[in-house]
Amino acid sequence: MVDFTLTADFEFSELSEDGCTATFQLEEDTPEELMASIKERMQTHIGNMDIGAPKHTIQIRRDINDGPIPDLSFDQDKCELSCNWRDLFTAFYGEETLAERLTNEWLDSKRTYLEELKAKMARGEIGAERAISNAILEIGNGEGIGRRSARRARIRHQFRDRGINWDPETDDSGEEDDALTKLRILKQFASTEAFSDEEYSDEWEDENEDEESGLDDEEDDSSDQ
């Protein structure tokens, strides 16, 4: 799902013959009076993609970031949006993987601190609630640092491709903090979303468990005879 904070939604329509380009069409029930405004805003967004402070977000199930949308284009006549979904997924999950690795490295560097918290709790020097709270805070800090570093690596690479040396430490606009806060909030909302295929998966697992339980009962009955 590509979100440009519009008052209309684009739904998947088709894939190109090579399977790389995904096309999305504006919903059929979009009011006609909004069409001109939507087309104008879409063209404005796509023509002014801000690398340092993206105005869009990308959500793939419960994961969210504001990374690049390769080969993004908009057909005003057909009101269709298209992009290279393969490259989008590669960039998206490449950043997710880097963020996770950096987070784990941070937590590894704090292992001694976390062990000390556990020991203090065991000795009764601090309460369990305080120890758990401090541990959760440290883990949260690690995830935040990992995601910020991964996002910076992506933006730095994008600027480098344009021959620009970008240094986030010299940027005092507050845009980075605002973007990270927005992404964190959106990720919290996304974490509570339910997906239909997961519901079917749960039902399938329950049915299998029931079948296996039935087989076990039959085996028990046969062994008693």
pTM: 0.75
Q: What is the pLDDT of residues 169-191, one digit of tens each?
A: 887 788 999 999 999 999 999 98
Whole-number pLDDT of residue 13: 93
Whole-number pLDDT of residue 3: 44
Q: Mean of the pLDDT values across residues 51-74?
A: 92
- Dig out the tokens for 175 from the structure: 């845009």
Residue 168's pLDDT band (boundaries 50, 70, 90)? confident
Q: Average model confidence (pLDDT) for the chain?
A: 84
Q: Are 1 and 89 in contact (CB under 8 A)?
A: no
Q: Which value, to the nearest 10 degrees, does the dihedral of the CA atoms of residues 206, 211, 216, 217 take?
A: 100
Domain boundaries, the chain: 2-175
pLDDT > 70 in the chain, percent: 84
Q: Mean of the pLDDT values across residues 30-57?
A: 86
Q: Give a three-class secondary structure readout of the chain.
A: CEECCCCCCEEEEEECCCCCEEEEEECCCCCHHHHHHHHHHHHHHHHCCCCCCCCCEEEECCEEECCCCCCCEEECCCCEEEEEHHHHHHHHHHHHHHHHHHHHHHHHHCHHHHHHHHHHHHHCCCCHHHHHHHHHHHHHHHHHHHHHHHHHHHHHHHHHHCCCCCCHHHCCCCHHHHHHHHHHHHHHHHCCCCCHHHHHHHHHHHHHHHHHHHHHHHHHHHHHC
Q: Which residue has the higher pLDDT, 194 or 148?
A: 148
Reply yes or no on whether the pLDDT at 59 is more than 80: yes
Q: Mean of the pLDDT values across residues 159-178?
A: 88
Q: Which residue has the higher pLDDT, 195 or 100?
A: 100
Q: What is the pLDDT of residues 195-221, one digit of tens each?
A: 887 765 555 565 666 565 555 555 555
Reply yes or no on whether the pLDDT at 4 is more than 50: no
Angle between helices 85-109 and 128-161 in degrees, nearest 10: 140
